[in-house]
Structure 1
Amino acid sequence: MSSDVLEKRYRMLLRAYPAGYRRERADELVDTLIGDEPTDRRWPSLREAASLIRGALRVHGGSTAARPTAVLLWQGIHLGAMAVLALGVLIGLDDLVEAFQFGGFSDPLTVLRNQGVHEVMVIAALAALVAGRTRTAAVLAVAAAVVPTVISPYLFLNGLPQWWAPVVATPLILVGLWRPADVPPTPRANAVLVTAGILALHLIPAGGFRRVDMSSQVVAATMVIVGIVAFLWVATADQRLLIAVAPTLLLGTLHQLGNDMSTGELLRRPDALPSLAVAVLIAGGAVVSTRLRQRTRA
């Protein structure tokens, strides 16, 4: 009876794998994990559970594909476009709420003209991309950078991160139109989950330590460390995240460059990082790691 319970719990963990992989390998994996000897265990060990989840992340990242590097690059680019648009939406919503909190209700039309039109158009571009309408998403992303700026140059003149979101996303979406036929598209549910993970990374309270007391600094620093470690644990298994997160890291840097062209100031400020160089190194490291793993497997 205990082996039946253990098998059921192993199979629950295996649901983290793509459906096709489960159909082909689930029985083999369960037999290997349980073994031939009778056991009284009712739960997988923490090490086994972590290994299964990490293995599922690798499979989602294309490790079992015929061309894992191609899957990494093309799906990573698609996920990067989604993530940067989603981050632009998140920043824009935060700024809209703040604008209305601090006097925006006295002149709501100005707030909507300055920020609302852009927010709606970026949301539309993101929705089209999630729905798989890549060409429509490309048109909407270009429009989100141009039309709101014509209506009101507020976001452009201030170089706000949400204005940069469609600008950064547009070339990624256009490049994605040339995805090779033998590289499968990113499953929608997986793409949404990856995007949510990248947004969670950006919600870590990494800034403003100097403005709070020591105990709050310790709590915030702990959250930063735990959040980054968790993200890296996932991203080093599913390395598409390392490609996808790179363009989102550029939004803050582009905003700072727009407000202060001094690279010295940019490098002195901890919230200015990751910079373009860091983003490129992250993406490059993911590609090199995948190619080395592919050679080892061959």
Structure 2
Amino acid sequence: MTDPLEGRYRRLLRSYPRAYRQERADEIVSTLMELAEPGQRHPTVREAAALVLGGLRARAGAHRRHTPGAVWAGALHLGVLFLLVDAGASALAQAIKVVVSLGGYPRPPTLMQWAYLATAVLIGVTVAAAASGRRHLALALTVLAIVAQHWAPDNTTMNDVPLISGVLWPLPLAAVGTAALLRRQVPAARHAMRWLIAIPGALIIMPTQLPVLFSPQSWAWSLFRHQLLLLLAALLACLLYGLVDARIPIAAGILMLGYPLAPVLDWVLTWPPGSGLSDWAVGVLLTYGAFFAATFAVGTLGARWQTRR
């Protein structure tokens, strides 16, 4: 009959991939049983946490990244995918808006409407190429998407307040990140095509994408506020997940890089003598600064810790 403690250890080991369990489960359980106190019937909290975290790290492939540089390269790859998904969500919102507007009026799309549709398709193909590790193709497609985006400028504003202040930045930042990865050996994402499913998910989570589809404006503002809360929860989850995979908080920081650029550039380009940043812009920059410091600190410490284990 299996010892109750041994059975509980084996249940905790289910957090590891099956191949890993088949190879090392008996060895791990044997070691833990030797270290157990006489009469012990339950794993300690420390043992349980270590087994679960170790299993999650194994599933995330942390054991395949042996240096902090490899972790940062993997984080940049994920960050590029996050940026492309964010850009895809914005383009999808505009494409849906075009389709809805054409539904009631049987007329051919205008050049700008074609540009919205083409941008959405291009970014979807780019996400698939980047996730599959075809970086040269992904870089070329990203440049094409930037050109298409130029012909389909974002017009999602309410009362002259820009809802998507960073909408133009994900694609250029993704292009820079992809170019930086051309000479790095970074494995392709697992289940690469599933990243396409993330685009409609980002349409719901990322703020200011979905409200462009709604009228009256009161609905859009309400939805916008709820999306901000969802985004905050998602970013906090990314920070916590750094305990499992150090790439995730770094990638989240890369995703948000474009958003504070808008108030900074607005101040630089429209700055008259004697003026300064508005209180809103200062608050935005301080918030983003704190977030970037947290993500990169957690990612850096996590990369060093996980590659030493």
Q: Secondary structure at the match of 1:188?
A: coil
Structure with higher helix content: 1
Partner Cα separation in structure 1 for residue 23 and residue 296 of structure 2:
32
Could you tell me how far 1:100 is from its partner in structure 2? Answer: 5.2
Could you tell me how far 1:154 is from its partner in structure 2? Answer: 2.2
Structure 1 gap ranges (5+): none
Query: Counterpart amino acid of 2:259?
Result: G
Report 1:162-173 matches (<5 A): 162-173=167-178
- 1:134–1:177: 8 Å Cα contact kept in structure 2? yes
- Once the two structures are superposed, what CA deviation does each residue of 1:35-88 show, in whole Å capped at 9, x if it has no partner? 5667766xx777655433322444566754573202211111111111110111
How many residues align structurally? 279
Report 1:1-298 matches (<5 A): 1=1, 3=4, 5-6=7-8, 8-15=10-17, 19=19, 21-22=20-21, 24-33=23-32, 49-59=48-58, 64=63, 67-98=66-97, 105-106=104-105, 109-110=109-110, 112-149=113-150, 152-155=151-154, 161-180=166-185, 185-189=187-191, 203=205, 227-257=234-264, 264-265=277-278, 267-268=280-281, 275=288, 277-278=289-290, 281-282=293-294, 284-286=296-298, 288-290=300-302, 293=305, 297=308
Query: Counterpart amino acid of 1:179?
Result: R
The answer to which of 245-254 and 101-110 deviates more is: 101-110
Query: Counterpart amino acid of 1:85?
Result: L
Partner Cα separation in structure 2 for residue 27 and residue 191 of structure 1:
35
- Once the two structures are superposed, what CA deviation does each residue of 1:91-132 show, in whole Å capped at 9, x if it has no partner? 322343355557875467246324211111111111111122
Change in CA separation of 1:126 and 1:153 when aligned onto 2, cut-off 3 Å: same
Change in CA separation of 1:190 and 1:120 when aligned onto 2, cut-off 3 Å: closer
Change in CA separation of 1:228 and 1:128 when aligned onto 2, cut-off 3 Å: closer
RMSD, aligned α-carbons: 4.8
The answer to which of 32-41 and 119-128 deviates more is: 32-41
Aligned residues with identical type, % of pairs: 22
Partner Cα separation in structure 2 for residue 86 and residue 11 of structure 1:
33
Partner Cα separation in structure 2 for residue 222 and residue 115 of structure 1:
28
- TM-score (structure 1 length as normaliser): 0.68
Structure 2 gap ranges (5+): 157-161, 212-217
Change in CA separation of 1:118 and 1:52 when aligned onto 2, cut-off 3 Å: same
Which has more radius of gyration? Answer: 2
Change in CA separation of 1:236 and 1:294 when aligned onto 2, cut-off 3 Å: closer
- 2:81–2:131: 8 Å Cα contact kept in structure 1? yes
